[in-house]
Amino acid sequence: MSDSLQSRTQRPLDARLRAVDEALVRERLLETALCLMAVPSPTGSAGAVSDSLAQILREDGFEVERPQGGHPAAPAVAVRHRFGVSGRVLQFDGHLDTVHLPFVPPVVDGARLTGTGASDMKAGVAAAVEALRMVKDSGALSTGAILLLAHDLHEAPWGDGRQLEALIDEGYVGDAVLIPEYMNVCVPIVGRGGMIWRAAIRRPGPAIHEVMRPNEPSVIAVAAQLVARLGELDAAVCKRCDPMAGAESVFIGQLHAGAIYNEFAAEARLEGTRRWLSGTSRAQAEAELNEVAASLAAATGVSIEMSFVPIREAFQLDANAPLVVEFQKSYTALSGQPLPLGAKPFVDDGNTFWAKAGIPAITHGPRAGGAHTTQEWVSIDDLCRVARLYAATAVRYCAT
């Protein structure tokens, strides 16, 4: 961080926010998190938990909207709370769906909250809700607005972000976004985009005993060649590299063929990921993979069908963007020093805001673990910290 940026972060936390009772913040936040986590919501089926969140917000006195975003089974939850005169709008955005694993009910375990959605990311959504309450109750803002948005269809491969994309098209987007996912070691200003790719290699005839095999190409042998060619593509694209985010990549995670040891398979399937940096588009990444497949199919006489599941696009923020500066001021006021700038190793909805709307988004959430497992946990103290940080950032950003 530059000396000038660091000097701009040396401002105390707003006294009105400091006056909000710590015990009240903790009690309300934990109650909200437990309520959300008690409702199972695998991706595509977040309707019931969305209803619960909407009811909580209505009981808090907020005006709640339920835009469908093309997903009527689970309408999103939106609150646009304005503070006096018009100004900047800071958005708190989170997803309410969880990965398709066995549901684990919420439990307060000492200083931790455990259960499905603890880290990814119902507890983070609860922290954002509490931040909205804090700003409203404190009277610390007289300009601008906070937009709270919670939605479904986040987790791949069951969801592809279509609901959020539709909501952005419908105008549910602020001037900048905070996302309470489980990352807090840096301010992520750069991140790779990603997608899942699948290749299906097929020969004309049916599966048959290997001693009766026809004079047709072996799909397994072609799969081996495809592995080699994708390795060559990986070596080529990894030359595109960012000092923080790392290199672009082509990764192979699975290869399947045949049902028994002596079957001459009719089909082989490969699956993996493709990750890229800002400056490379998803369309370009797909075209590179299609070119490899088409060339090999022509050379071997098999058919190779490529399919793609988009996850998110790449992003890159300006370190001096107002959101980054005001977030750092708030973080420093709470912790005593700013966070280092860095890269986001995963993809999340912040990538979507940047790629689709050009809106800067910072991912910063509580200390947590066990995401995408049945062992999720989150620090309750750190949830409270995130709520205060979001509230402080809103006050600084919207008032500027």
Q: What are phi and psi of 69, to 5 degrees?
A: 55, 35
Q: Write down the pLDDT at residue 7.
A: 41
Element housing 286 (H / E): helix 282-300
- What's the CA gap between 275 and 315, in Å, rounded? 12
Q: Write down the pLDDT at residue 11.
A: 53
Q: 281 and 195 in contact (C-beta within 8 Å)?
A: no
Closest CA to 356 of 312, 311, 321, 308: 312
Per-residue pLDDT of the chain (400 residues; tens, 9 = 90+): 444 444 444 456 678 888 888 999 999 999 999 999 999 999 999 999 999 999 999 999 999 999 999 999 999 999 999 998 899 999 999 999 999 999 999 999 999 999 999 999 999 999 999 999 999 999 999 999 999 999 999 998 899 899 999 999 999 999 999 999 999 999 999 999 999 999 999 999 999 999 999 999 999 999 999 999 999 999 999 999 999 999 999 999 999 999 999 999 999 999 999 999 999 999 999 999 999 999 999 999 999 999 999 889 999 999 999 999 999 999 999 999 999 999 999 889 999 999 999 999 999 999 999 999 999 999 999 999 999 999 999 999 998 7
Looking at domain 193-312, which of 1.10.3720.10, 3.30.428.10, 3.90.180.10, 3.30.70.360 is its CATH number?
3.30.70.360
Question: Is beta strand 176-179 parallel, antiparallel or unpaired with respect to 85-95?
Answer: parallel
DSSP secondary-structure letter at 108? E
Close Cβ partners of 48 (under 8 Å, ≥ 6 residues apart) = 39, 40, 41
Q: What are phi and psi of 168, to 5 degrees?
A: -60, -45
Close Cβ partners of 90 (under 8 Å, ≥ 6 residues apart) = 144, 145, 146, 147, 174, 175, 176, 177, 178, 323, 393, 394, 397, 398
Q: 142 and 83 in contact (C-beta within 8 Å)?
A: yes
Long-range contacts: 255-263, Cβ < 8 Å, 24+? Answer: 255/223, 255/227, 257/219, 257/220, 257/223, 258/207, 258/220, 259/207, 262/209, 262/210, 262/211, 263/207, 263/208, 263/209, 263/210
Q: 400 and 324 in contact (C-beta within 8 Å)?
A: no
DSSP secondary-structure letter at 210? G
- What's the CA gap between 212 and 61, in Å, rounded? 74
DSSP secondary-structure letter at 100? S
Share of the chain residues as helix, strand and coil, in percent rounded to the nearest 5: 35, 25, 35
Q: What are phi and psi of 395, to 5 degrees?
A: -60, -45
Look at domain 3-191+314-399 and name its CATH class: alpha beta
Q: What is the DSSP track for 28-43?
A: HHHHHHHHHHTS--BT
Q: Do domains 3-191+314-399 and 193-312 have the same CATH topology?
A: no
Residue with tokens 């609150």: 79
Q: Write down the pLDDT at residue 21.
A: 87
How far from 142 is each of 20, 145, 218, CA to CA, in Å?
A: 17, 9, 70
What is the residue extent of each domain of the chain? 3-191+314-399, 193-312
Closest CA to 154 of 351, 341, 377, 384: 351
Q: Write down the pLDDT at residue 4.
A: 42
